Structure 1
Amino acid sequence: MENSSSSANSFNDGYTQMENPICRCRKVTTMAKSWTDENPGRKFYKCDTHGFLCWADKEKPFGWQKISLLEARDQIRQQKEQLKELNESLRACNDKDLNGADSGMMNLEMFEKIAEEKRKLEIEAMASKEKEKLLRQFIVISWGGFIVVTAMILTMAKK
């Protein structure tokens, strides 16, 4: 029982978050998240003046985890762009002068269609964020399991 708690503690030690470090300009840094192709989802500390200071986590994402995070990032960006386009078209519809009952009905139908599509895209975006959150939790748990199994194998090998 004691070994399992020490294994859990060693797992948590790798992921504990330190206090935000101080930059060379003596300002407290803030934590941010990288979405570059090289470091998707990786947390780092940044200074408002000097930018990047250091990584908050010790290991870079790689393999299928990195690919999944990049795919999720690209999908979120695409959905944000679609929402932006829909909002612009809604604004354009609102700005147009409605002349006559027929064009008013057509514009109203178009407005309702666009509003419905916007609502659906917002729901999709929320679902994507939830999927991303679950994927991140799975990654952390899988790393924890990997570390525990590796520690057990090393312990058995020493005996």
Structure 2
Amino acid sequence: MASGQTSSSASISSTASIIFPLCHCLQPTTLSISWTDANPGRRFFKCDVHGFLEWSDKDLPCQWQKRSLLEARDKIRRQAAEIKALREAFSTANAQLAAVEVNRSTGPNDDLLIHIEEIVKAQIIQSDKNIRNCVFFSCAGFFVATVVLLLLKI
């Protein structure tokens, strides 16, 4: 991996037929997946002390595979940002609802407060649905990309 780019990796749990090399410090290595722009989806061995050791898959991915993985990664990042924004909106709505509850106990405008409370609850329900949809579609997209790559490898 180039020194000027940021790196991201994920550990892999299914490693039945892979031989793990030892690091030069004689520590065992783990198998991870790179999510950098230059090497998306490439597997590599890493040492917990020293980091990157060597590539597990020696062949570079095809251009369309690389593009697909980068698009899937970017979509997941966008959806994660959207989930964060929805959570913040949910928190704000909860704070507004708490303020309505305080005002309800001190003010005579019960009908108006009930209407506002119903609107806020409806927004909270919609926010929850949006969060669930984002998580579902990001997982589905990642699953589809993974299945396509596995089928092409067979």
Secondary structure class of the residue paired with 2:25: coil
What percent identity do the matched residue pairs reach?
Answer: 36
Alpha-carbon spacing, 1:43–1:94, altered in 2? closer, same or farther (3 Å): same
Alignment size in residue pairs:
126
Match in the other structure for 2:26: 26
Contact 1:22 1:28 in 2 (8 A): yes
Q: What does the per-residue CA deviation read over 1:104-137, in whole Å, with 9 as the maximum and x for residues that have no partner?
A: 1121011011111112112211211221121211
Secondary structure class of the residue paired with 1:32: strand
Q: CA deviation at 1:22?
A: 1.4
Match in the other structure for 1:124: 137
Match in the other structure for 1:82: 82
User: 2:123 aligned with 1:110, yes or no?
Assistant: yes
So what's the TM-score if we normalise by structure 2? 0.73
Question: Which segment drifts farther, 123-132 or 82-91?
Answer: 82-91
Question: Which segment drifts farther, 66-75 or 33-42?
Answer: 66-75
Distance 1:26 1:89 in 2: 50
Match in the other structure for 1:12: none
Distance 1:27 1:92 in 2: 48
Unpaired segments of 5 or more residues in structure 2?
A: 1-15, 101-112
Distance 2:76 2:55 in 1: 24
Question: Which residues of 2 match residues 21-100 of structure 1 at below 5 A?
Answer: 21-96=21-96, 97-99=98-100, 100=113
Distance 1:75 1:17 in 2: 32
Q: What does the per-residue CA deviation read over 1:34-71, in whole Å, with 9 as the maximum and x for residues that have no partner?
A: 01111110000111111100111111112212111111
Distance 2:136 2:18 in 1: 35
Q: CA deviation at 1:91?
A: 2.5
Question: Which segment drifts farther, 87-96 or 123-132?
Answer: 87-96
Unpaired segments of 5 or more residues in structure 1?
A: 1-15, 142-159
Distance 2:27 2:91 in 1: 42
Q: In the alignment, residue 145 of structure 2 is paired with which amino acid?
A: E
Distance 1:51 1:61 in 2: 22
So what's the TM-score if we normalise by structure 1? 0.71
Q: In the alignment, residue 104 of structure 1 is paired with which amino acid?
A: E
Q: CA deviation at 1:18?
A: 3.0
Q: CA deviation at 1:94?
A: 2.5
